[in-house]
């Protein structure tokens, strides 16, 4: 599979969330029943804030949309503040005037996480738009270094930096060692993918993901194979990219 050159949209940090939300509103007006993959984390939080505002002001509607969760920690209790399903609910889903048609979460609390991952692999088919963040180690979702473009949705061991993020940044009450993530195989099948990247701390890895040859040490680099990839970066994250 070969992709075309990604579309790179560089925005001033202050405009980033409103510009991405405006493009999302445009997509949704054309396809109100979009099946959409959503990540959690520091990057999408301001976007979700803006999406909630736009929905309340009738500039965007999510009532027909199916939201599919990108990834989840395994081993955190359901009410843990770091849980991705909880964050998506509190930052976005529960704040909408009209909730999405469906919110498909990953069943990490059941007895068989491998079976839950297989079920989520089915949920991750037919995706219209996948929104994705970029890990400082080049991961996308929990497709950690070593992941490949043919990987399905599956149970994975987390990299140390991801485990640290769970506790230090997101306030997890325990250190999770595993997660379930939609695999790159499904993400590359989505009709469209958006890689969301903000802040100076992502500048070096964004350059390595977009400029250097693709490779399993930076799984996000495989997204370049996607025929409709847009990278929405703020000026800080884009600072090391070639002009």
Which residues contact ligand F6R (rule: CB under 6 A)? 39-43, 70-71, 84, 133-135, 139-141
Query: At its nearest, how many Å lie between ligand F6R and the CB of residue 57?
Result: 25
**Toward ligand F6R, which CB reaches closer, 59 or 189?**
189
**Toward ligand F6R, which CB reaches closer, 54 or 134?**
134
Active site residues: 71, 137, 139, 144
**What are the phi and psi torsion angles at 131 (to 5°)?**
-95, 135
Residue of closest CB approach to ligand F6R? 133
> Considering Cα of 23, then 28, then 34, then 40, what sign does the dihedral take?
positive
**Toward ligand F6R, which CB reaches closer, 62 or 132?**
132
**Toward ligand F6R, which CB reaches closer, 65 or 134?**
134
User: Which letter, b or e, does each residue of 160-172 get, where b requires 16 or more Cβ atoms within 10 Å of its Cβ?
Assistant: eebbebbeeebeb
**Toward ligand F6R, which CB reaches closer, 28 or 82?**
82
Burial class (CB in 10 A: 0-12, 13-18, 19+), 235: middle
Burial class (CB in 10 A: 0-12, 13-18, 19+), 122: exposed
Please list the residues that pair with 104 across neighbouring strands. 68
Query: At its nearest, how many Å lie between ligand F6R and the CB of residue 143?
Result: 8
> Considering Cα of 98, then 102, then 105, then 110, what sign does the dihedral take?
positive
Query: At its nearest, how many Å lie between ligand F6R and the CB of residue 107?
Result: 16
Query: At its nearest, how many Å lie between ligand F6R and the CB of residue 211?
Result: 19
Assign residue 115 a region (left: φ > 0; alpha: ψ between -120 and 50; beta: otherwise): alpha
Judged by DSSP in three states, 195 sits in strand
Query: At its nearest, how many Å lie between ligand F6R and the CB of residue 196?
Result: 8
């Amino acid at each position: 599979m070969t992709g075309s050159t990604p579309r790179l949209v560089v925005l001033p940090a202050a405009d980033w969330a409103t510009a991405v939300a405006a493009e999302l509103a445009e997509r949704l007006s054309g396809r109100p029943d979009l099946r959409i993959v959503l990540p959690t984390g520091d990057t999408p939080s301001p976007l979700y804030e803006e999406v909630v505002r736009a929905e309340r002001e009738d500039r965007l509607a999510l009532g027909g949309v199916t939201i599919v969760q990108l990834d989840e920690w395994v081993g955190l209790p359901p009410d843990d503040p770091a849980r991705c399903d909880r964050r998506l609910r509190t930052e976005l889903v529960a704040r909408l005037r009209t909730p999405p048609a469906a919110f498909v979460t990953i069943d990490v609390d059941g007895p068989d996480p491998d079976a839950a991952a297989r079920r989520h692999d089915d949920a991750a088919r037919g995706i219209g738009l996948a929104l994705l963040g970029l890990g400082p180690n080049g991961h996308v979702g929990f497709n950690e270094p070593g992941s490949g473009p043919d990987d399905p949705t599956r149970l994975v061991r987390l990299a140390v930096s991801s485990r640290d993020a769970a506790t230090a940044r997101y306030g997890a009450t325990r250190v999770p060692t595993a997660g379930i993530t939609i695999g790159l195989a499904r993400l590359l099948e989505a009709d469209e993918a958006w890689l969301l990247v903000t802040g100076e701390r992502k500048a070096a890895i964004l350059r390595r993901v977009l400029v250097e040859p693709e490779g399993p040490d930076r799984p996000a680099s495989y997204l370049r194979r996607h025929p409709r990839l847009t990278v929405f970066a703020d000026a800080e994250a884009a600072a090391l990219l070639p002009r």
